[in-house]
A and B are shown apart, each in its own frame.
Chain A
C-alpha cells in the first residue's frame, strides 16, 4: 500500500503538525477572521500563505517518502503560524473586553503575562530525562587512565556516549544478529552507514575482538529494557568470564542500561 493511503501515517503527520503550534497561537488564529477579512487583498498575506502551504507540502512529500523525519522540520511552519496568529490578538482582546467589561488594556496585560509565564516555564523547564547519557560516560572516564581513549561497544548507539567519554572509538553491537559488531563508515543522506567488523560473529567474535584490543579499556553499554537485549542475551553475555558488571542505570521512562568492563588489559 502506498504511504499516502495509510490513515495511521496521516494521523502521525497531523499530530506532528499540531504539536508544532501552541494553544495561545491557535486561540489567536481563531479570532483573526476579522483581521484577515480586512487584509484579504494584501499581497504579502498571499505570499506568506503560499510559503506556508508549499513548505507543508514539501514536508509531507519528505514524510511520506519514508525518510527519518524530525519534528524540527516543521520549524518554518511554526514561525509562519505564529506570524499569522499575530493578527488575532486585537479581536480577541476586544471580544474579552466586551464580555468581561474589563478594559482592553487589562485583558492585553493578563493575556501576555499568561503567555509569557506559560511559555517560559515550558521552554525553560529543565530536561533531565536521560541522566544515564552522562552518568555512563562519566563512569567510563573514571575507570580509564587520562591518557587512554576507551573503546565503547553498545547496542544503543548515541554519539554522546563517545562525546562525554572523550572517545571516538564507538562500536555498534547487535545481540539479535548473533552479536554482530559494526563500525561507522560514513553518512549517506542523513543516515549513518555501518560496516560489519568481522564475519565470524557470535560471542566468540566479540571476545576475540576485545582481546585483539590488548591493553585498551573496553566497555560494553547494553540496553536491557524491552527495546534492548533480551534477558537470554544478557545472560549469554554475562557468561563471559572476562566481563564484569560495573553498574546498572535506569530512568523514569523505564529505559535500563548495564555497563560492563572487560578485564583484558595487562596492567
Chain B
C-alpha cells in the first residue's frame, strides 16, 4: 500500500515542467517560509507576548521532533524510493533512511504547536495546510514514501504537545521567559518605543541599512554569498568548459606550463593560475575553481553598488541594483560552478567603476585612477580576452563627453587634455601590466595576448560569413 500510494502521487511527476517546478518549489521552500513565519510572530510585537511564546514553543517542537527522528533512524532503516529504483526523482537527496521525513516533521511540528496556542490558531491552521502540501510534495519529488509523511505527523503531534505543555513550565518555561525578557530589553534599546508595529520595525531596519552604506553592502554580500555557496549543492556535474580548466590547473600545479597551455593555447591564464595556486595549497582544482567563482561572484556586488550609486545618486536605488545582481539566477548559475565569468565580471565592473571615478575627478591626481583602471582591466582581460573592449569604450565615452561639453558651449580645453592624458595612462598601464604575464608565458605553447587576436577575424567574418553557415553554427550548438 505504501508503494501504491507513492506511485499514485509520484506518477504525476515528470510530465509537465510547470507542475514539476511547483512541486519542487513546495518541497524545498516550505521550511524557509515556516522560518519566516516564526520570525514574523516573534517580531510582530503583540502586547501580551503570546505570539512570541507560541513561536518559541513551535521552534522547540521542531527541535524535539527532529531529535526523535534521529533516534528512530539509529534503530530503523528504510530505503528511499530512488534507492529502490522506484518513481521519478526530481530533487537530489542522500540515500539515507527514508522513515520518517525530517522535512515533514519540521513542518508539522511547527504547524501543530501553532494550532495548540489560542493566539496563533489561525496561523496554525494555515501552516497545517501548507505543511500538508509541502510534505506531499516530497513524495511527488520522489524522495519519500507516503508512510514516511504519516509517521512524521505522529512524531510531530507528540513533540508539539510536549513542547506546548512545557513551554510555560519548569526549566523550559524559565528559559523561554528569560529569552523574551532579554529580547524586550534589547528592543527598547534599539527601537526606543517597545510598542512599534512590525512594518515600522522593518522600515526602521531598512532606513538604518540605507543610512549606513557599509551595512547595506555587507547585507547584500552575505545574501549573494549564501545563494552562490548553495549553488554547487544543486548541480551534480562540472561545466563542459570546467573540465578543460581543471585539467589545465592540474598541469600548471604540477609545473608543466607547456602541457597546460597546449590544451588551449589562447586561454587567458589568470583563472587557471588561481586554481593551480589553490591546488598547491591542498585544495582540489574543481573545488578551487568553484570557490574562486563564488567569491568573485559575491564581490561583484561592490562595483555594481558603487556604479549604481554614482548613476542614481541614491543609496536605495544602488541597494536595489545590488539586490537584483545578488539574486540574478544567471549570475548565480555561473558563480557556483567552475567557470571564469564571475571573476571576469568582477574585474570588468571594477574597472568600469574606476573609469567613472577617473572621469569625475577634477584634479591631476585623478590620473592615478586611470592607471589603476588600466591595471584592473588587464586582470579582466587575463580572465576573458573580451576585457580589452573597455579601452575602446573608455575612448568613446571621453569623445562623447567632450562633444556634449562642446555642444553646451562649456570650456573643454583643460578637461580634454586631462582626459586624453588619462586615456593614454590607462592604455599604458594596461599594456605595461600585461608584460610580466606575457614574459612568464614566453617560450610556452600559450598564445595569449593582452589584445585579442581574433578581432580582425570577427570583423572579416561579420562581412563575409553567409547567413546559412551562421545558422548552421547555431543549429549545432
* Residues in chain B near residue A100, CB distance under 8 A: none
Interface segment out of the listed B45-53, B132-140, B328-336: B328-336
14 chain-A/chain-B pairs, Cβ below 8 angstroms = A1-B468, A2-B463, A2-B467, A20-B330, A22-B329, A51-B390, A54-B389, A69-B473, A82-B325, A86-B318, A86-B320, A86-B322, A105-B202, A127-B236
Minimum distance in angstroms from B62 CB to a CB of chain A: 21
* Residues in chain B near residue A73, CB distance under 8 A: 386
Cβ-defined contact, A252 with B237, below 8 A: no
The 4 tightest CB contacts between A and B, nearest first, are A86-B321, A65-B461, A6-B467, A66-B465
Chain A interface size range: 35 or more
* Residues in chain A near residue B14, CB distance under 8 A: 252
Complex: A25 Cα to B477 Cα, angstroms: 28
- A-B contact sample (18 more), CB < 8 A, given A119-B329, A128-B92: A6-B470, A51-B352, A75-B341, A85-B320, A86-B324, A87-B308, A89-B317, A105-B199, A105-B202, A109-B202, A122-B329, A126-B91, A126-B235, A126-B236, A134-B237, A162-B243, A187-B266, A188-B265
> Does A249 count as interface, using CB distance less than 8 angstroms?
no
Cβ-defined contact, B462 with A61, below 8 A: yes
> Does B203 count as interface, using CB distance less than 8 angstroms?
yes
> Does A124 count as interface, using CB distance less than 8 angstroms?
yes
> Does A130 count as interface, using CB distance less than 8 angstroms?
yes
B473 partner, pick from A43, A47, A67, A159, beta carbons under 8 A: A67
Q: Please, which residue of chain B has its CB at the minimum distance from the CB of A119?
A: B327
Q: Which of B230-273 contact A (CB under 8 A)?
A: 230-231, 234-238, 240, 243-244, 246-247, 262-266
Interface segment out of the listed A110-118, A205-213, A215-223: A110-118
> Does A64 count as interface, using CB distance less than 8 angstroms?
yes
Residues of chain A touching chain B, judged by Cβ–Cβ distance below 8 Å, are 1-6, 8-9, 12, 20, 22, 24-25, 28, 35, 39, 42-48, 50-51, 54-55, 58, 61-62, 64-73, 75-76, 78-79, 82-87, 89-90, 103, 105-106, 108-109, 112, 115-117, 119-128, 130, 133-134, 158-160, 162-164, 168, 186-190, 252
Complex: A2 Cα to B463 Cα, angstroms: 7
Is the contact region of chain A dominated by helix, strand, or loop, or is it mixed? Answer: helix
Cβ-defined contact, A66 with B469, below 8 A: yes
Minimum distance in angstroms from B205 CB to a CB of chain A: 10
Complex: A55 Cα to B392 Cα, angstroms: 10
Complex: A186 Cα to B386 Cα, angstroms: 22
Minimum distance in angstroms from B301 CB to a CB of chain A: 10
Given A79-B300, A119-B329, A158-B240, check contact A47 B355 (CB 8 Å). Answer: yes
Minimum distance in angstroms from A160 CB to a CB of chain B: 6
Cβ-defined contact, B465 with A187, below 8 A: no
Cβ-defined contact, B317 with A163, below 8 A: no
* Residues in chain B near residue A22, CB distance under 8 A: 328-329
B389 partner, pick from A55, A108, A122, beta carbons under 8 A: A55
Complex: A130 Cα to B237 Cα, angstroms: 9
Complex: A190 Cα to B458 Cα, angstroms: 13
* Residues in chain B near residue A20, CB distance under 8 A: 330
Chain B interface size range: 35 or more
Minimum distance in angstroms from B392 CB to a CB of chain A: 7
Complex: A28 Cα to B470 Cα, angstroms: 35
Cβ-defined contact, B473 with A68, below 8 A: yes
> Does B397 count as interface, using CB distance less than 8 angstroms?
yes
Q: Please, which residue of chain A has its CB at the minimum distance from the CB of B352?
A: A51
Minimum distance in angstroms from A45 CB to a CB of chain B: 5
**1/0 contact string of B338-350 vs chain A (CB within 8 Å):** 0101000100110
Cβ-defined contact, A123 with B466, below 8 A: no
A72 partner, pick from B319, B328, B341, B348, beta carbons under 8 A: B341
Cβ-defined contact, A46 with B400, below 8 A: yes
Cβ-defined contact, B331 with A75, below 8 A: yes
Cβ-defined contact, B470 with A121, below 8 A: no
Complex: A119 Cα to B323 Cα, angstroms: 11
> Does B72 count as interface, using CB distance less than 8 angstroms?
no
* Residues in chain A near residue B193, CB distance under 8 A: none
Cβ-defined contact, B465 with A65, below 8 A: yes
Minimum distance in angstroms from B94 CB to a CB of chain A: 13
Complex: A2 Cα to B471 Cα, angstroms: 11
A134 partner, pick from B236, B393, B397, beta carbons under 8 A: B236
Complex: A127 Cα to B477 Cα, angstroms: 19
Cβ-defined contact, B470 with A78, below 8 A: no
Interface centre among B327, B352, B390, B469, by most chain A C-beta atoms within 10 angstroms, is B327
